[in-house]
Structures are given as structure tokens and as C-alpha cells.
Amino acid sequence: MATTTTTTIKDVNEKPHFPEQVTGMYILARALKNIGIKNVYGLVGIPITEAGYEIQGQGIKFVTFRHEQQAGMAAATEGYLTRTPGVLMTVSSLGMLNGLTATANATVNCYPMIQISGSTDPTMVDMNMGTYEQLDQFNAAKPYVKAAFRCSKAEDIPAAVNRAYRAAITGRPGGVYIDMTTPALGQVMNAADAEKLFYEPVDLYSEVAPNKASVDRAVELLTSAKRPAILLGKGAAYAQTDDNIKKLIETYNIPYLPMSMAKGLMPDDGPLSALSCRSTIMEQADVVMVVGARINWMLSFGKGKWNPATKFIQLDVEPQEIDRNVPIAAPVVGDLNLSLEAILAGLEGKKMAADPSWVTSLQAETKEKNGKFETRLADAAKLMPMNHWSALSAIKPILAANPDVVLINEGANTLDDTRDTISMELPRHRVDCATWSIMGMGMGSAIGAAVATGKSVVAIEGDSAFGFSGMDFSTICRFKLPVTVVILNNGGIYNGIGKPLDNTTDPAPTTLDIHARYDKLGDAFGARTYYVTTPDELSKALTEAISSKEPCLIDVQLAADAGKESGHIGYLNPTPLIPIEV
């Protein structure tokens, strides 16, 4: 006869056995609540499972993932979009390292976030006793973060959380790590004593003002320019100083060129947008004001195509950014909001020396290039099977009609072609693989954007890119988020026509699955799904998906030969050895 076993599930909402006592996990949850954390992204297990429940108990939304890296991407995206740190919570060892990849990426991109990982008793780790999930996480994290703290006692937790928050957002924002040891998490304290640990940090973000001499120098240079331009980076979008940027550009009639995540800070299709004139700006502008952008690989280090006579004004909160690759004629170090206010005050009543034909010639160039681009899209729309441009010809008008949708974008050709095709109208509505140009931020960033903003999200993903985070599509479904994932499937990394060398019958290193039905993956989790092969079908599916405000997945069938090796950055390959026809 079968016996029935009753499993007793611990009622976590039950009051502690001794109501006057609390644990380190409770203190952690309270500390997060006290500093204003609204969402935590993570994945539980030993030793943080109960902490997850305590966090929910505080009324904080705990978004639980299938992989820590994606939870970290979500936290980082919240940090970027809200200018407050996103919080990632992981278990020890591999969970911590999985999350650390996202935290490192956040640091590189200047996104504020806090990774909190449970860890084994450090006294055992230090003695190399071979304890459960033994890893010196604290020291492993240090090279990848702005600051790291280790809590060995519950008493340290509130201060660690407050200091991590301040570190993440102060100066140049970035990732911060808190090593939350098992002894600290499990420590039991008298509730009244614990209560005394919490404090309200004063002046959490103190804006740093630029010095007057630097502002005067910048104003002098800008007003003397014959062919000025403003280069906007994602630091400018992050800084949320949109009105000052608009005022500077519109009052002084200065053309602007946005980096990819700065798109929308000023409208891509605005009269002063020089988006289509990147080379002309590099070759002809005499003064370029760089606002919240780094002159790194994405800007050819300020060399190459750049006119050697170009003078740079650079506005950045990080003094070490100045002169990194080119000498900066007028550095303005400070928080962008204060720097722009000071520059605007300095410009008051001054006349610009700009040549009026500069703007009109950029406008003429824009008109011509945009005309050619439209023809290219219209031609691609007739192709069967589709390529990236055919698909984007269908997506473009739909996103234009829904400007408040947050766009997440990753891939190689999918990234490049989407960035070039989709115009942004509003600030902080585009998140992509950013400074490292990584793959594997898609589902996490889509979730972070949806949770942090409450807006609808569309993620445009290459099939390869989607593979890195695809399982967390299930998180989108579990949390019923208004996210539509559009997968442009050309069956491979770059494309699906790689040919292996003669000695193997294995797939080529770049080959994936041209016939995969990604829509069925969505079916598994109850999403609305679509499989489309024409621009018309895609157009109908995307319109319906966005208006549903439900989790949706659209599998877009492209030709296997659509796309080229490494998209626009093929030149970075050391040797063009892989036999791919481009």
C-alpha cells in the first residue's frame, strides 16, 4: 500500500519563533528597503534562499531568473535607466561568478549596480579547508568593480548596503560587490539592537561642479568654432540632463552626433541631427564637444579619420578620462548637469562664430543619404527570403508609431543594421551591447527595462545573440512582462553559410540552426508566438504583439546568406581566415 508522506513546507511568513529576534537575512532585506531599493534581480539557493523571501517580505519586487548573468544584466539596465543602482543577488561560487560577468560589464559601461552574493565562511576559505562552494569571492570580484565590501557580521550589513549604494552612483558610476557571508546571513540578533543599525545616509549623490576656468575655456572655444559639433554619449543619456542638452543644441544651433545609446536624447530625425554625417563630422568639424562619451575604439581613439586639427571639449565626471587618447583642448570635469548649466550660463549673450553653411551642408548631406537609405530598405522589402534590411523595413514604421517602447538590441548584423535603421525619438529608450560589444545581454536587459520603467519593450535579437540568454525568456513569461522578442534568424554567427574545412563533417564554427523554430520555445512558456517569413507577416505580428502588452516571441526567418562576418566591425578580426562569403 502506498504511504502518503506529508512534506512540511516552512511558512516563511510565520513570525520568527522569538519575535524579538531577527536574522542577518532580515537585516539585509530591511537595509535594501531603507535605501529605497524597489527591485532585486537574482536566483536563490544556499545560502540566500530565505533572504529572497525576506526581500519579498519587505515589499521589494524580487525578479527571479534562470541564470545569474541575465539577472545582472537586468540590474545593470535598471541602473542605467534610473540613475539608481540595480541590485543583483546570487548564491556562492559559480552563481557569484556568473553574476560577476554582468557586474564587470556594468563597470565598463558606467552603469551603477550592486552585486550581493552569498558566500562561505571566509575563515574556512582562508584556511583552504575545501568547504562547500569554497571561493575567495571578495578578492575575485575586486578587479571588476569600483568598490567591494565583505560582511562577516550581521551588524555590518546596513552600512555595507549604504556604502555600496553611494559607491555605485558617485563620480563615474559602476558595479559594486558585497560579499555576504553565511555567518553574517545566519546570525541571529536582538530585534531592538538590529533596529539601531539602520541610518539614513546624508546627501547620497553629491553633484560635483566644474571649476570656472575650465568652463570659461570651453565657452571660448565653442563660440570661436566655425564648424562645431556635439557628440553625445550614453553618459549624457544616463545623466538625465535632457533639457540642458536640448537648450544648448537648439539655442546655439549646433549639429549633434549621438553614440548608439545616446540616440533619442535629441531626436534622430531632428533638423540638427548629424547621424548620417559621421565621417563628415570626423573630417571637417573644427571643434567637437564630447558630452558623456569616451574617445575609445568606437571613435577610432580620436585618430584615423579624425581631422588632426580638430579641437575637443570634453565634459566628463571622471578626470582620468581626459587626454586618454587625444589631447583635450578644453576639459570640463564635473557632473554633466552642473557642467552644462555652467556652460549655458557662460554662453549667455555671446555670439557663435559658426559658419552658417556648416549646418545647411550637413542637412543636405543627411537628406541625400537618407534618401538612398530609404531606397535600400524599400528594395530589401521585396526580397524573399528576407535579409536583415527586409525585416527592418517592416519593423521601422511600427517602432516609429510607438516611440515610447524601449528597444533592446544585440547581435552582429542585427545590431548594426537595427541601429542604422531604427530612429529613436526619446532619451534612454535604447539599450544595446554597448562598450564591450558583447553578446548575451538581451533577455536580462529586456526584463530590467520592463521592470524598471513599466514600459513596453521590444528586443531585436540575432539568433546567435538570443542563444546566450534565451532561457530567461521564461522569466519574461513568469513575470508577465510586456516584452516582445524579435529573433532575426539567419542560422548562424554572422550568417548560416559557413563552410567547415575539408577534414570535418561537423558544422562550421559559425553555423547554428537556420530551420530552428524559436517560436516553439515561446510556446513552452505560454507566450504569444509568431513565425514569419515576409515583411507583411512581420508587420502584422509586431503590431499585434506590442499592443497585447504580453510576453511575445516573433521568429523571423531570414536567408542563411543574410549578413556578413562581424557586421560593421569585421576589420577587428586578426586574419580573414574563416571561409565565409561576404
Shortest CB 562 distance to Mg ion, Å:
8
Using rule CB under 5 A, residue 463 touches Mg ion: yes
How distant is the alpha carbon of residue 161 from its chain centre? 23
Q: Of Mg ion, ligand ADP, none, which one sits near residue 68, judging by CB under 5 to 8 A according to partner kind?
A: none
From 69, 120, 464, 484, residue interacting with Mg ion (rule: CB under 5 A):
464
Shortest CB 343 distance to Mg ion, Å:
44
**Strand-pair category, 256-258 with 228-232:** parallel
Using rule CB under 5 A, residue 92 touches Mg ion: no
Binding mask 489-508 for Mg ion (x = CB under 5 A): -x------------------
- Pick between residue 463 and residue 561 the one whose CB is nearest to Mg ion: 463
Shortest CB 462 distance to Mg ion, Å:
4
Q: Cβ(161)–Cβ(28) under 8 Å?
A: yes
Of 33-41, 213-221, 378-386, 487-495, the segment contacting Mg ion by CB under 5 A is 487-495
Q: Where are the alpha helices (DSSP H) in 423-582?
A: 442-453, 463-469, 473-478, 518-524, 535-548
- Pick between residue 177 and residue 238 the one whose CB is nearest to ligand ADP: 238
- Pick between residue 41 and residue 238 the one whose CB is nearest to ligand ADP: 238
- Positions touching ligand ADP (CB under 6 A) are 109-110, 172-173, 233-235, 238-239, 259, 261-262, 292-294, 296, 298, 316-318, 321, 335-336, 435
Where is 68: in which H helix or E strand? helix 68-82
Q: Of ligand ADP, Mg ion, none, which one sits near residue 253, judging by CB under 5 to 8 A according to partner kind?
A: none
Where is 69: in which H helix or E strand? helix 68-82
Measure the CA–CA gap between 443 and 409, rounded to whole angstroms. 10
Beta-strand ranges (E) seen in 44-174 are 61-64, 86-90, 113-119, 147-151
Shortest CB 406 distance to ligand ADP, Å:
17
From 235, 462, 470, 535, residue interacting with Mg ion (rule: CB under 5 A):
462
- Pick between residue 89 and residue 434 the one whose CB is nearest to ligand ADP: 434
Q: Of ligand ADP, Mg ion, none, which one sits near residue 392, judging by CB under 5 to 8 A according to partner kind?
A: none
- Pick between residue 22 and residue 338 the one whose CB is nearest to ligand ADP: 338
- Pick between residue 234 and residue 429 the one whose CB is nearest to ligand ADP: 234
Measure the CA–CA gap between 349 and 491, rounded to whole angstroms. 58
Q: Of Mg ion, ligand ADP, none, which one sits near residue 464, judging by CB under 5 to 8 A according to partner kind?
A: Mg ion
Residue nearest to ligand ADP (CB): 235
Cell triple for residue 522?
A: 515561446
Phi, psi of 36 (to 5 degrees): 100, 15
| Residue whose C-alpha is closest to residue 322's, from 436, 249, 459, 218 | 218
Measure the CA–CA gap between 384 and 187, rounded to whole angstroms. 64
Span 262-281, contacts to Mg ion by CB under 5 A: none
Q: Residue 135: CB partners within 8 Å, gap ≥ 6?
A: 92, 93, 96, 97, 119, 120, 125
- Pick between residue 79 and residue 183 the one whose CB is nearest to ligand ADP: 79
Could you count the other beta carbons within 10 Å of the beta carbon of residue 328? 19
Interface ranges with Mg ion (CB under 5 A) = 462-464, 490
